[in-house]
Amino acid sequence: MELNIDKQSKSPIPTENWLEFYQVLSENGELYESIEGKIDQSLMLQMYVKMLLVRLFDRKCINLQRQGRLGTYAPFEGQEASQVGSAIALSPEDWFFPTYRDHAAAVVHGQDLYRVFLYWMGHVDGTICPDEKRILPPSVPIATHMLHAVGTAWASKLKGEKNCSMAYFGDGATSEGDFHEALNFAGVYKTPTIFFCQNNGYAISVPFEKQSASKTIAQRAIAYDIKGIRIDGNDILAVYLTVKDAVERALRGEGPTLIESVTFRYGAHTTADDPKKYRNQEAISQEWHEKRDPLNRLKKLLINKDVWSEAIEKQWQQQLNEEIESAFEKAVNYPKTNSLEMFNHVYADKPWNIKEQQDELRLFLNKDVN
């Protein structure tokens, strides 16, 4: 980004260029730059199928929640390009720190689909990742996991390991102190950390302009002397190339990167939210279908390359729906959780009042069984 230098203070001041973002694929499916040697046809098809998988999964979860078969659920429709494109760019050994809305990215990075179902059913085993992966449980407290991502990255650097840590978060997290502490620490120690912000415009119901006077999130990287970049988060090609570059920079010892992925949350913050209370859903729906849908954008490119058809799409959907149904059945038939597990992994030594609550619940459960 171009910077102006204030002659008196000699400090870099962001210009209006910060409002622009990096884009590779237009809304009409046309390429702004050559991707030859960077993204081949096979990878583009993989991107599309992965985005289709997680969208079908997302819609399935919303239906299940409405049926009372899942708990409160956080939809991500509209953010598929940001999540899928970023996760594909990571290596299997990289550390992965998701929020409660990043299950699409987690699945692409290797999390079992049935465990994501378990998580939204309130089962503690829903947070377990495969042994060969480094996927942390979804972080519900806002921005706290960003510090953990910096810590693992620093440890990897000290141990001479060739991996990085990816922290996902939303625009609301950038109003938390943990966000600034994480960027500051990462900047000082040049940790191989990637801060991936999905700016979907709202922190629940609060629009970004009411959260911050800064025009963008990416420009905040200047304060910590780290690289900051703003990208079109509905353009999966731009997301992939940006994260891949950030990973390579991190592994070369060039420090962290703050990525502001400007994306869009089509639906509610959670299934307990009503977005019609704070925005015009009808107008948003029209714009969504015409311009913002990340799947449609990539589909147009695939059509131009003559590798997509209605028949292929139906075949993909059938196969993916079968995969989703199989994962859900596995979750449904998984051993039921015990309510007493809520007392585990909180205190090393339980205080008296927690022990009292635990004993009361145990007595109630035994009485209910008898």
For 52-104, what is each residue's pLDDT tens digit? 999 999 999 999 999 999 999 999 999 999 999 999 999 999 999 999 999 99
Asked whether residue 17 is assigned to any structural domain, the reply reads no
Number of H helices, E strands in the chain: 11, 9
Which of the following is catalytic: 265, 266, 292, 297?
A: 265
Same-domain check for residues 54 and 184: yes
Percent of all residues in the chain with a pLDDT value above 70, rounded to a whole number:
95
Same-domain check for residues 325 and 348: no
pLDDT score recorded for residue 338: 87
Q: What are phi and psi of 165, to 5 degrees?
A: -120, 135
Same-domain check for residues 223 and 361: no
How do residues 164-187 score in pLDDT, each as one tens digit? 999 999 999 999 999 999 999 999
Residues 6+ apart with CB under 8 A from 88: 43, 46, 47, 50, 108, 240
- Work out the end-to-end distance of the chain between its first and last CA atoms, rounded to an integer number of angstroms: 68
- Residue ranges making up the domain that contains 364: 339-370
Percent of all residues in the chain with a pLDDT value above 90, rounded to a whole number:
84
* Cα 155 from chain centroid (whole Å): 23
Please determine, for residue 15, whether its predicted confidence score (pLDDT) is greater than 90: no
Identify any residues that bridge with 260 across adjacent strands, giving them in sequence order: 197, 230
Number of domains in the chain: 2
How do residues 213-236 score in pLDDT, each as one tens digit? 999 999 999 999 999 999 999 999
- Tell me how far apart the alpha carbons of residues 113 and 196 are, in angstroms, rounded to a whole number: 22
Asked whether residue 356 is assigned to any structural domain, the reply reads yes
Asked whether residue 219 is assigned to any structural domain, the reply reads yes
* Strand pairing report for 12-14 and 3-5: antiparallel
Determine the longest span between alpha carbons in the chain, in angstroms.
80
> Which residue blocks in 103-235 are alpha helix, DSSP H?
103-109, 113-120, 144-159, 177-189
Q: Is 21 left (phi over 0), alpha (psi -120 to 50) or beta?
A: beta
pLDDT score recorded for residue 16: 54
Which of the following is catalytic: 115, 145, 269, 297?
A: 269
Asked whether residue 2 is assigned to any structural domain, the reply reads no
- Evaluate whether 98 touches 196 at the Cβ level (below 8 Å): no
Same-domain check for residues 173 and 297: yes
Secondary-structure percent of the chain, ordered helix, strand, coil, rounded to 5: 50, 10, 35
- Evaluate whether 153 touches 191 at the Cβ level (below 8 Å): yes
Same-domain check for residues 155 and 301: yes
What's the CATH code of the domain at 106?
3.40.50.970
Asked whether residue 11 is assigned to any structural domain, the reply reads no
Which of the following is catalytic: 32, 189, 278, 334?
A: 278
Same-domain check for residues 220 and 325: yes
Query: CB pairs under 8 A, 24+ apart, for 273-281?
Result: 273/204, 273/205, 275/205, 277/205, 278/202, 278/205, 279/202
CA torsion sign, 357 to 99 to 208 to 165?
positive
Same-domain check for residues 213 and 120: yes
Q: Is the pTM of this model over 0.85?
A: yes
Same-domain check for residues 344 and 208: no
Mean pLDDT, the chain, rounded, equals 92
Is 119 considered catalytic here? no
Same-domain check for residues 360 and 323: no
Asked whether residue 218 is assigned to any structural domain, the reply reads yes
pLDDT score recorded for residue 227: 97
Residues 6+ apart with CB under 8 A from 67: none
Q: Residue 126 corresponds to which tokens in the numbers above?
A: 């829903």
> Which residue blocks in 110-143 are alpha helix, DSSP H?
113-120
Is 123 considered catalytic here? no
Mean pLDDT in residue range 310-327: 98
Same-domain check for residues 229 and 114: yes
Please determine, for residue 289, whether its predicted confidence score (pLDDT) is greater than 90: no
Same-domain check for residues 212 and 357: no
- Evaluate whether 75 touches 58 at the Cβ level (below 8 Å): yes
- Tell me how far apart the alpha carbons of residues 135 and 130 are, in angstroms, rounded to a whole number: 8
Asked whether residue 1 is assigned to any structural domain, the reply reads no
Same-domain check for residues 278 and 365: no
Is 278 considered catalytic here? yes
Asked whether residue 3 is assigned to any structural domain, the reply reads no
